[in-house]
Amino acid sequence: MKRKRPQPSAVKPEYLLNRVAVVTGAGGGIGQAICQRFEKEGAIVYAADITLAENQVGQPYEIDVTSEDSVNVLFDDIASQHGLLHILVNAAGIEIEKTIEDTTLDEWNKIMAVNCTSMFLTSRRAVKLMRAAGSGSIINFGSYDGFIADPQLAAYCASKGAVHALTRAMACDHGPDNIRVNAVCPGYVDTPMLQSFLGSSGDAKANIKNNPEHVQKALNDVHPIGRCGQPDDVANLVNWLAGDEARYASGQLWIIDGGLTAQVQQMKL
């Protein structure tokens, strides 16, 4: 008698089934894509942002990630509802398009607070809940700007360099508790932050208004793969890092940029 081959299951098991996840910056371009992907993969998503998106996916928490009290409200709720946490994505971020000469001390402190201090506030609450879960994955948003610099983004570049160093330090400290810590470092990704950056300086500002196709083509052309990134491209990497397939990945800075930073700038002869 011919033996029947086992049929592949029609429904693929969800990669993050029943994992409890916090995403900050959840209302932003990349944050929304992550929340959608996590929910699709079966996670229980807590979506935190100072301004949430319309039709926000996940349990909405309108919080300021620079405020300890505000962060504690979210983590106290998770502690009482679940007593554990598996995934933390620190994606909240802001940009200030200035040189250091033009940056005020308040602006400097604000960008450091949103882009870096927030990760200290959320992660130290998360670590305890991840220990209770037996494992965890923390994903911090760095940037290619933590490696190389765009003009007029001095404080932003400094904040992302700090995120990269913090990521490595946390990975060393919490690895023994089976908590992995990685940074995702995007290149140009088509979100409100990128539009604000493109609209902030000289020629691009004028061109974006008068000839947006020209700006889009110029943006695409600096990438070896011929296009800038979409939020989903980044969410794919975050999703992998969040789950068990990435169980050996920790303490690393994952650049995702369509090859942008692999290529030396060409001379314009």
Ligand X SMILES: NC(=O)c1ccc[n+]([C@@H]2O[C@H](COP(=O)([O-])OP(=O)(O)OC[C@H]3O[C@@H](n4cnc5c(N)ncnc54)[C@H](O)[C@@H]3O)[C@@H](O)[C@H]2O)c1
Which residues here bind ligand X, judged by CB under 6 A?
24-25, 27-31, 49-51, 64-66, 91-94, 114, 141, 143, 186, 188-189, 191-194
Q: Which two tokens stand for residue 133?
A: 């879960």
Comparing CB distances to ligand X, the nearer of 49 and 97 is 49
Which residue among the candidates 46, 61, 144, 156 is catalytic per the annotation?
156
Nearer to ligand X, 27 or 136 (CB): 27
CB 44 within 8 A of CB 19: yes
Taking the complex as a whole, how short is the minimal distance between the CB of residue 171 and ligand X, in angstroms? 18
Count of beta carbons in the 10 Å neighbourhood of residue 107: 14
149 phi-psi bin (left φ>0, alpha ψ -120 to 50, beta other): beta
223: which 2 tokens?
A: 């990438």
Residue with tokens 């940056």, as numbered in its chain: 103
Determine the Cα–Cα distance for residues 137 and 114; give it in Å rounded to an integer. Answer: 21
- 114 three-state secondary structure: helix
Stated as kind and residue range, the H or E segment containing 109 is helix 105-112
- The CA–CA distances, whole Å, from 7 to 3, 4, 11 equal 12, 8, 11
- Nearest residue relative to ligand X (C-beta): 28
Q: Shortest approach of ligand X to residue 67 CB, angstroms?
A: 8
Least separation in angstroms between CB 105 and ligand X: 18
As a whole number of Å, the end-to-end CA separation of the chain is 74
User: Is 156 a catalytic site residue?
Assistant: yes
Buried b (16+ CB within 10 A) or exposed e, 245-263: ebeeebebbbbbbbebeee
| Closer of 29 and 58 to ligand X (Cβ) | 29
Q: Which is nearer to ligand X, 186 or 243 (CB)?
A: 186
190 C-beta neighbours (distance < 10 Å), count: 18
Give least dist CB 128 to ligand X, A: 21
Residue 24's nearest CA partner among 53, 55, 63 is 63
Give least dist CB 184 to ligand X, A. 8
Q: How far is the CB of 222 from ligand X (least distance, A)?
A: 13
**In the structure encoding, which two tokens stand for residue 228, read together?**
């800038």
- Which residues are designated catalytic? 156
